[in-house]
Structure 1
Amino acid sequence: MTTTKQRPVGEMLRQWRERRRLSQLDLAIQADISTRHLSFVETGRSAPSREMVLHLADELDVPLRDRNRLLLAAGFAPVYGERDLQAPEMAPVKAAVRQVLAGHEPYPAGVVDRRWNLVDANKPMLMFTEGVPASLLDPLNVLRVSLHPDGLASRIVNLGEWRAHLLGRLRREIAVTADADLISLNDELSEYPCPDRAPDLDNEVAVPLRIRHRDLELSFISAVATFGTPADITVDELSIELFFPADAVTAEFLRK
């Protein structure tokens, strides 16, 4: 039997503060508390109340999953649930997601979780997985499928640009969340081969995905939608990826 030592809540709060590039004075002003009290909390000289832990976590924009960890470290029970997407209570969320996916057709759209695993998708998304080996589809990690040599990488015309875009997003998420799973995923993806050239975005308004599909070259720009007021960890970690045609050829192909 092994045990893992729980880090003090003050230490964890300090790390989140530093991750947000805030001084103690900055956070104290933002949270409307004294710098002295914040210092005592971070050093363990003062035990924060449940309300104070949640208040500081809110000011630091800590993800819900990690707010539960802060509460546990402070000796309190977690307050945020993590329900399966198939649970009865999640019916309104599932309905909203399906409405967005169906309403976006004939353009591709998919839903990913915090690890970038595909949770749901509309029918046009199937064009992206055409020809991808089954070993990369269960589970289907969107980033892995996109950049793996046996996945979409051989079909992406501007692989250097798209890879830089995806890894940039992933690393920004790591900076915000410090998620160990995302760090591991970034290490894996960074090892995949890619043309060694700098992105050329001189004439672009957004980074496009240019991909060969059968005898056509299709071009997409993308947008991301999230739930604005999550109170459940699963909902907090869902993202809807929406693809739009970036040229007339792609728009016509999708309409047909």
Structure 2
Amino acid sequence: MTATVHASAPTVGEALRRWRELRRLSQLELSIRAEISTRHLSFVETGRSRPSREMVLRLAGPLDLPLRERNRLLLAAGYAPVYPENDLDAPQMAAVRAAVRQVLTGHEPYPAVVVDRGWNLVAANSSLTLLTDLAAPELLAAPANVLRVSLHPDGLAPHIANLGEWRGHLLSRLARQVELTGDAELAALEAELRDYPCDSPEPEIELPGPGEIVVPLRLRHESGELAFLSTIATFGTPLDVTLAELSIESFYPADEHTASVLRDRARR
């Protein structure tokens, strides 16, 4: 008979220490930022002292923990989560849905998408079809992952003129997110994307070329090469886990030819 071994969840002290080390902070540095004694922090990390709910949240602040991780930290300490996690379709999220629709509609005729923490597509405006029409239908099945659609060989990758540069930009962004959140699913996604083939040189360090101030997305299209700049917006004061993890990525034409093609498509 084979015994099954179940890994125990980390204690609050172990979780705090892991996050502190991930943020490359010493006990002294974190204690100064949290305005507590190093001795007290040491006792919490080793389990000699059980932190209050207020202390858990006080330490989570300078550790810059996402709301989801603050809730997990509270659970590890034996407290109920304080940050709600409402489905986007919930009645209390009506104002959020309205704001998202307004942003997406107002951005027409330029593409814009809303994604969750795993870069899964939540919503988009009609102009996004300029990009999604280039991808295999199976990649667009829900939940479609916008990074996978971008870099997969059956996605946008064969149509991206500066694939190595754009791929390097996306993977650098994702790597920073993995480091910030410690999210295992994001780490798995990063590993998957890095395994995709790329026949274009990928810069090890993002350095601007002559006259460049951002990394553009250069797309081969039947109307000629299109160039886009992108921005990412988040809600500024979220107190809900779902809301905190939403991002709106908006694409803008980087030249007049691209702007003209987008305007012409909108008139059809």
TM tier, smaller:
over 0.9
Evaluate the alpha carbon distance shift between residue 70 and residue 113 of structure 1 in structure 2; reply closer, same or farther with a 3 A threshold. Answer: same
Q: Which residue of 2 aligns with 1:219?
A: 227
Structure 1: distance between partners of 2:157 and 2:136: 13
1:138-153 pair list within 5 angstroms: 138=141, 139-153=143-157
Per the alignment, in what secondary structure is the counterpart of residue 193 of structure 1?
Answer: coil
Structure 1 segments, 4+ long, off by >6 Å, are none
Q: Which residue of 1 aligns with 2:37?
A: 34
Cα offset, 1:96, TM superposition: 0.9
Cα offset, 1:108, TM superposition: 0.9
Q: 2:189 aligns with which of 185, 188, 193?
A: 185
Partner AA of 1:227 in structure 2: F
Q: Gapped runs of 5+ residues in structure 2? A: none
Cα offset, 1:128, TM superposition: 0.5
1:202 equivalent to 2:209? Answer: yes
Q: Is the 8 A contact 1:115 1:182 kept in 2?
A: yes
Size of the aligned set, in residue pairs, is 256
TM (normalized to structure 2)?
0.92
Q: Which residue of 2 aligns with 1:129?
A: 132
Q: Is the 8 A contact 1:106 1:255 kept in 2?
A: yes
Q: Which residue of 1 aligns with 2:48?
A: 45
Per the alignment, in what secondary structure is the counterpart of residue 213 of structure 1?
Answer: coil
Q: 1:164 aligns with which of 149, 168, 174?
A: 168
Structure 2: distance between partners of 1:214 and 1:111: 26
Q: Deviations over 1:85-138 (max 9, x none)?
A: 111000011111111111111111100001101100111111101142221011
1:114 equivalent to 2:122? Answer: no
Structure 2: distance between partners of 1:254 and 1:133: 22
Q: Which residue of 1 aligns with 2:101?
A: 98
Question: In angstroms, what is the RMSD of aligned CA positions?
Answer: 1.4
Per the alignment, in what secondary structure is the counterpart of residue 158 of structure 2?
Answer: coil
1:76-87 pair list within 5 angstroms: 76-87=79-90
Per the alignment, in what secondary structure is the counterpart of residue 149 of structure 1?
Answer: coil
1:19 equivalent to 2:26? Answer: no
Cα offset, 1:3, TM superposition: 4.5
Per the alignment, in what secondary structure is the counterpart of residue 90 of structure 1?
Answer: helix
Per the alignment, in what secondary structure is the counterpart of residue 157 of structure 2?
Answer: coil
Q: Gapped runs of 5+ residues in structure 1? A: none
Q: 2:13 aligns with which of 10, 13, 18?
A: 10
Structure 2: distance between partners of 1:196 and 1:133: 21
Structure 1: distance between partners of 2:113 and 2:96: 15
Structure 1: distance between partners of 2:117 and 2:192: 16
Q: Is the 8 A contact 1:127 1:213 kept in 2?
A: no
Q: Is the 8 A contact 2:105 2:125 kept in 1?
A: yes
Structure 2: distance between partners of 1:130 and 1:52: 50
Partner AA of 1:34 in structure 2: S
Structure 2: distance between partners of 1:213 and 1:167: 24
Q: Deviations over 1:199-231 (max 9, x none)?
A: 473121100000012232100011100011111
Per the alignment, in what secondary structure is the counterpart of residue 154 of structure 1?
Answer: helix
1:68-79 pair list within 5 angstroms: 68-79=71-82
Among all aligned residue pairs of Structure 1 and Structure 2, give the percentage whose two residues are the same amino acid. Answer: 64
